[in-house]
Amino acid sequence: MTDVAIEVENLSFGYGKTPILERVDVAFPANRFSVLLGRNGSGKSTLFNIMAGLQKYQYGSVKLMGKERSKMSFSDCARVLGFLPQFHKSVFPFQVKDVVLTGRAAFSAFSPKKSDMEKVGQAIEELGISHLADRPYTELSGGEQQLVMIARVLVQNPRIILLDEPTNHLDVYYQTYVLEKLKKLTENDLTVIAIMHDPNMAFLYADQCYFMKDKTVVTPTEAFDYHDSNFLEYVYDVHFTTVQVNNKMMVVPGRKIN
Amino acid sequence: MRKVLTGFLIYGLPIPLLLYSLTVGPSQGLVFADYWDWGKAALNGGIHENSTKVYMLNNIIENVRLPRVLLTFIIGAGLASSGGALQGIFRNPLVDPYVLGISSGSAFGAALAIAFPLLHINVMAFVLGVASVIMTYSFAFSNNKSSIVAVILSGMIVSGIFTASLTVVQYISDPYKLQAIVQWTMGNLHHASWDKLNTAALPVGIGIVGMYLMRWRLNLLALGEQEAKAVGVNPTADKATLVALATLTTSTSVAAAGVISMYGLFIPHLTRMMVGPDNRKAMPANIFFGGSFLVIIDNFSRSLMDFEIPIGIFTMLLGAPFFLFLMKKNKINWV
């Protein structure tokens, strides 16, 4: 089954006695751009942290390209999966190329090789930020910083990239920029899975959307697809009006339910 | 041009500086010609057949100044590189080796050894320095997690406990011992000897080489724990190794020369101004420039006045205004 990148089966997780995830079943297809949506606190970030290996799990299974996650070492995992966490701040004004270079740390233990530098060059070229290479990371705008962090994940040469809210705090220009680049990455044999908040941006760019509600991943019943306003109302607790724009379904939020 | 200058300051300065420093000292009546004679005699290997002046000078240089200059250099290098490493690990430019409680722990250990001569001063200073770091860490951990704030807060508390204990020891000591304790806590190098150098060289050497090897890993740690995990590196092992190396280096330094505070704080800032924040360049700069700068300070401290100013005090008097000047001039704003 190579067409599934990450398969989560019957996963339950909680901090102490507070359950965060309950019986999650979801399979993310390979070489696609998948987006995970849902309300704050629905468990999206926890599911991501578990898939990325930042959080241990006991009940259920998570398979990366067919291999059980909990049995993989940190560096084995780094060969398969790259992860972009939600918040990243740097105190020290490292140059962009040095920040990107740290993405190779799992492969070159004590000092980076020449091939590592070349990979950095390729990654920032691919994302169109070569002109920023010598700038201090701390002086960049939020959108530029996000692209640098994506480049840092890319230099790992992973098969799967997880991004926790990659478009957060970005203006429309950079949202579009980042999503277009992510979409393009899936053409090069990469699986991209992202958490997003804006359903319309997700509908515009994603190949597939997944929704979390009440600690688990929910799928619309056969009759409705996820553009259906009833289903979205169930997920977000907000009334939606659907509109058709250039053959694409868009939603406009209305009053909140209760 | 700037690059050449910083390159020289870091890598070119140490050797000529060390040689020059051998001629600095309070001994009266030695002129350049004497050093010239000594140099010639030393090269010919005929010091013992030469005049008494050359023989005496040889004694001063070989047994007093050479060990002192070398000890000063490795202590400076050790404190600066430990400071740089700890600032990276804790992602906090306010951290120095003493924040973890090392200095007050060691100072208390040394005071105990001076007041109640049961154990060797160096051993006690080292043991209590390590103990305070272990205490700082164990207090900071709860639920297998520790935040940077918790570590620094816990370090301050541990520091406070040991400082209070030190005061108690001072309070109950007789005046003669009290003087010895106070001198020791001010930091001093005038007891430097081959013995001290031999004791300190190995642990400090291990610490410095270890931190140098980890210099690129430090960049990764400086970006944050989550970010390290995100690219497939478990930062806990790297962090523990670096903290252990920094503790070994610092507590050995404190054992050998007393408390030289702030040195590990401002040298990493100076080197970052010179070569940038990339630890691949900043770490060797900390080692070499850190060593040289303490030798320069020590040269002043033993030649400026008739008496010797304790190095710990002089570092503050000389280093702090210099650092403040650079801070103003460069307008560094830490977010």
**pLDDT at residue A216 tops 60:** yes
Query: Both A149 and A245 in a single domain?
Result: no
**pLDDT at residue A209 tops 50:** yes
**pLDDT at residue A1 tops 60:** no
Question: With an 8 Å Cβ cutoff, are B216 and A78 in contact?
Answer: no
Query: Both A189 and A65 in a single domain?
Result: yes
pLDDT grade, residue A258 (50/70/90)?
Answer: confident
Nearest by CB: B277 against A92, A104, A106: A92
Question: With an 8 Å Cβ cutoff, are B232 and A54 in contact?
Answer: no
Q: What share of chain B is helix, strand, coil (3-state, %, to 5)?
A: 75, 0, 20
Query: Both A41 and A118 in a single domain?
Result: yes
Residue B190 confidence (pLDDT)? 78
Query: Which carries the bigger pLDDT value, residue B326 or residue A64?
Result: A64
Rounded mean pLDDT, A180-202: 90
In a domain, B254, yes or no: yes
Query: Both A92 and A206 in a single domain?
Result: yes
Question: With an 8 Å Cβ cutoff, are A110 and B217 in contact?
Answer: yes
Task: Please report where in the chains the tokens 């740390």 appear, as a residue.
Answer: A105
Mean pLDDT of chain A: 86
Query: Both A102 and A17 in a single domain?
Result: yes
How does DSSP assign B158-171, residue by residue?
Answer: HHHHHHHHHHHHHH
The Cα A133–Cα B115 span in angstroms is 58
- A99: chain B residues, CB-CB within 8 Å: 223
- A91: chain B residues, CB-CB within 8 Å: 91-93, 222, 334-335
In a domain, B32, yes or no: no
- A77: chain B residues, CB-CB within 8 Å: 232
Question: With an 8 Å Cβ cutoff, are A110 and B214 in contact?
Answer: yes
Neighbours of A17 (CB within 10 A): 5
Q: How many CA atoms lie within 13 A of B146 on its CB side?
A: 19
Q: Tens digits of per-residue pLDDT, A97-144?
A: 999 998 888 887 778 888 888 999 999 998 889 999 999 998 888 888
In a domain, B50, yes or no: no
Query: Both A118 and A196 in a single domain?
Result: yes
Residue A226 confidence (pLDDT)? 64
Q: What is the CATH number of the domain that holds B194?
A: 1.10.3470.10
Number of Cβ pairs < 8 A linking chain A and chain B: 93
The Cα A108–Cα B73 span in angstroms is 32
Whether A156 and B232 have beta carbons less than 8 Å apart is answered as yes
In a domain, B121, yes or no: yes
- How many domains are contained in chain B? 1
- A50: chain B residues, CB-CB within 8 Å: none
Task: Compute CA distances B242 → A90, A172, A242, B89, whole Å.
Answer: 20, 43, 56, 8
The Cα A98–Cα A105 span in angstroms is 11
Whether B54 and B34 have beta carbons less than 8 Å apart is answered as yes
Residue B17 confidence (pLDDT)? 85
In a domain, B137, yes or no: yes
Closest CA to B317 of B333, B298, B289, B335: B298
Rounded mean pLDDT, A209-223: 78
Q: By CA distance, what is A76's nearest residue in B?
A: B232
Task: Compute CA distances B198 → B18, B147, B194, whole Å.
Answer: 18, 38, 6
Q: By CA distance, what is B282's nearest residue in A?
A: A94
Does A245 contact chain B (CB < 8 Å)? no
Rounded mean pLDDT, A190-207: 91
Whether A88 and A99 have beta carbons less than 8 Å apart is answered as no
Range of the domain at A246: 227-257
Nearest by CB: A85 against B88, B219, B230: B230
Does A112 contact chain B (CB < 8 Å)? yes
Residue B158 confidence (pLDDT)? 93
Rounded mean pLDDT, A213-222: 77
Range of the domain at B321: 68-329
Low-confidence ranges of chain B (pLDDT < 50): 333-335
In a domain, B122, yes or no: yes
What predicted TM-score, i.e. pTM, was given to this entire model?
0.84
Residue A79 confidence (pLDDT)? 83
- A111: chain B residues, CB-CB within 8 Å: 216, 280
Query: Both A146 and A234 in a single domain?
Result: no
Q: Tens digits of per-residue pLDDT, A10-55?
A: 888 888 788 888 888 899 999 999 999 998 888 888 899 888 888 8
Whether B233 and A78 have beta carbons less than 8 Å apart is answered as yes
- How many domains are contained in chain A? 2
Query: Both A207 and A231 in a single domain?
Result: no
Query: Both A237 and A161 in a single domain?
Result: no
Residue B335 confidence (pLDDT)? 40
A162 phi and psi, to 5 degrees? Answer: -105, 130
In a domain, B7, yes or no: no
Q: What is the CATH number of the domain that holds A173?
A: 3.40.50.300
Question: With an 8 Å Cβ cutoff, are B276 and A74 in contact?
Answer: no
